[in-house]
Every structure is written in structure tokens, then in C-alpha cells.
């Protein structure tokens, strides 16, 4: 008998519901039944009934006036549980706090999930903020300091998968040549930290260092982000030293011995 199709073993109506949830984005946080039906290729009665079920458990909320759906507070509740169980989340918090006070810039902890960088933890500086990042946000790995440091220490197959999905150009500084990216990753591993100079957003620079677990595996990145006026090229060495030290401290608290 032929090998079973992987998709055949999943519950299709549950899949529908999850795909509907994931269709909401920052750019489109409110959606109509008909829009979802069109974009996901599902019958409008299917979408309507699935939405009613999601709403009954608080996963979406229907605006009674506009009839549009948005994501519901049950997701917020569950997300607060996601992190509570993550060692790096808890152990990094005091370290990020001190780093932010020390450097005066916003700091994050992030990991790679499904070929993207996702921010688990954020401690903000006192400067007026522009919501460039936030916990839960996903970003491409090839043009963020977090992403590049995680790729530098990652398995070759993860790196290859990222290269295969393409290196999208976000600014004039984005590295889109695979050969140049691989060279950059090698340099990052040598330096022990990575940088991104306006590679994802104009005017925004960041520096990141690897966080190790007790087995010596790189499991997260600790990064600092700010405007290029405050994170200038000539300051990078001093910032990097402190960021590496902070990442080392988080690693130590994770049971790393190196």
C-alpha cells in the first residue's frame, strides 16, 4: 500500500479553524467571513460555522456592528502560559533589565521557529518607542541580528532551508546574496556576535549574541535594538562586549558551562 499522505492524518475541520486563526495579521487584524472564505478557499458557511465555534471559546470576537471578526482574548491568556514554561524567558528577565538600564536601548530574547525569528521577551528602554518589535512578532532571520546569530550557530539544513525560501530585500542594506550571507554568518561565529545595520528597517540597527543551554546548544539570541543615531558603527564594539556578557550570563543561568 502506498505511503500515507501526511495531511491525511490531521483533522481537517480543526486544520480549517487553525488556518483561519493564522490568517489574521498585523495588517489585517479584522476580517469578514467572505474575505476569509475567498482567501482560504473555504465555503462561506464553513467559515461562518467555524467562526461561531471559535467565538464561543473566546478565540475570536465578532464586532456586532461591523460583523467583522478579530482575534479574541483567549489567545492572550494562552500566550501568557506559553512563556511561563520557558526557562530562557524567566532566566533572561533580570539580565535584560540590567542591560537596558546600562545601554539605554531596548533588548530582546528571540528564537527561530519555522524559518522565522520570533521575539519571546522584550524589555524596553525609556526612549519614546515606535513599536518596531513586540513579543510574539515574527521577522525574517537573514536580515536581523537575532536571526543571523541564530543561523550562524544552526545546523546546515536550517540554514539551507532559509536560503531556499529566498532572501527577501527589505532595505538597500539587506543581504540577498546567499554567498555573502554565508560569509557573514561565518564572520559572526568568529566574532561571537552579529549586527544588522538597517538591514530590515531603515534607520534601525541591532546587535545580538548567542544564548546557550546546559548542553552547549544555541537556543536563543539576546539582542539590543535602536535607531542608528544611537547605535552607530563606532559604538558597536563597546555594545557588543556588554551584549555578549549579558548573553553569557543568561547562558550560565541556563546551566551552560563554557
Helical spans, DSSP H, in 23-144: 33-40, 44-56, 73-84, 87-103
| Binding to its own copies, residues 142-161 (CB under 8 A) | none
**Close Cβ partners of 162 (under 8 Å, ≥ 6 residues apart):** 115, 141, 142, 151
CB of 70 to DNA, least distance (A): 12
Among DNA, its own copies, none, what binds residue 5 when CB lies within 5 to 8 Å by partner kind? none
SS3 breakdown of the chain: % helix, strand, coil, rounded to 5?
A: 45, 20, 35
C-alpha cell at 159: 540554514
Stretch of 75-83, 160-168, 201-209, 224-232 lying at the interface with its own copies (CB under 8 A): 75-83
Distance CA 74, CA 228 (A): 38
Which member of 2, 4, 41, 80 binds its own copies (CB under 8 A)? 80
The entry of DNA, its own copies, none that residue 68 binds, CB within 5 to 8 Å by partner kind:
DNA
Question: What's the half-sphere exposure (Cβ side, CA atoms, 13 Å) at 58?
Answer: 6
Q: Of 35, 40, 42, 58, which one interacts with its own copies (CB under 8 A)?
A: 58
- Please give the size of the binding site for DNA, defined by CB under 7 A: 26
Q: How far is the CB of 143 from its own copies (least distance, A)?
A: 19
DSSP state for residue 9 in the 8-state scheme? G
Binding residues for its own copies (CB under 8 A) = 9-11, 13-19, 21-22, 24-26, 29-30, 49-50, 52-54, 56-59, 70-85, 93-94, 97, 101, 111, 113-114, 118, 120, 126, 128-129, 134-138
Amino acid at each position: 500500500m502506498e505511503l500515507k499522505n501526511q495531511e491525511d492524518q490531521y483533522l481537517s475541520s480543526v486544520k480549517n479553524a487553525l488556518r483561519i486563526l493564522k490568517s489574521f495579521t498585523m495588517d489585517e487584524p479584522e476580517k469578514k467571513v467572505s474575505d476569509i472564505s475567498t482567501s482560504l478557499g473555504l465555503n462561506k458557511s464553513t467559515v461562518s460555522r467555524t467562526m461561531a465555534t471559535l467565538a464561543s471559546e473566546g478565540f475570536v470576537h465578532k464586532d456586532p456592528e461591523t460583523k467583522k471578526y478579530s482575534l479574541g482574548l483567549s489567545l492572550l491568556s494562552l500566550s501568557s502560559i506559553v512563556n511561563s514554561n520557558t526557562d530562557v524567558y524567566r532566566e533572561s528577565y533580570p539580565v535584560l533589565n540590567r542591560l537596558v538600564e546600562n545601554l539605554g536601548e531596548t533588548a530582546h530574547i528571540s528564537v527561530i521557529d519555522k524559518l522565522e525569528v520570533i521575539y519571546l521577551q522584550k524589555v524596553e528602554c525609556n526612549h519614546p518607542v515606535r513599536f518596531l518589535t513586540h513579543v510574539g512578532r515574527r521577522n525574517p532571520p537573514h536580515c536581523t541580528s537575532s536571526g543571523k546569530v541564530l543561523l550562524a550557530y544552526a545546523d546546515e539544513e536550517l540554514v539551507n532551508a532559509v536560503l531556499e525560501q529566498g532572501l527577501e530585500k527589505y532595505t538597500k542594506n539587506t543581504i540577498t546574496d546567499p554567498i555573502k550571507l554565508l560569509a557573514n554568518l561565518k564572520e559572526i561565529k568568529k566574532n561571537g556576535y552579529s549586527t544588522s545595520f538597517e538591514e530590515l528597517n531603515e534607520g534601525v540597527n541591532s546587535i545580538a549574541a548567542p544564548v546557550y543551554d546546559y548542553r552547549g546548544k544555541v537556543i536563543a539570541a539576546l539582542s539590543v535594538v535602536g535607531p542608528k543615531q544611537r547605535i552607530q558603527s563606532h559604538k558597536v564594539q563597546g555594545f557588543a562586549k556588554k551584549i555578549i556578557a549579558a548573553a553569557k550570563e543568561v547562558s550560565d543561568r541556563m546551566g551552560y558551562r563554557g
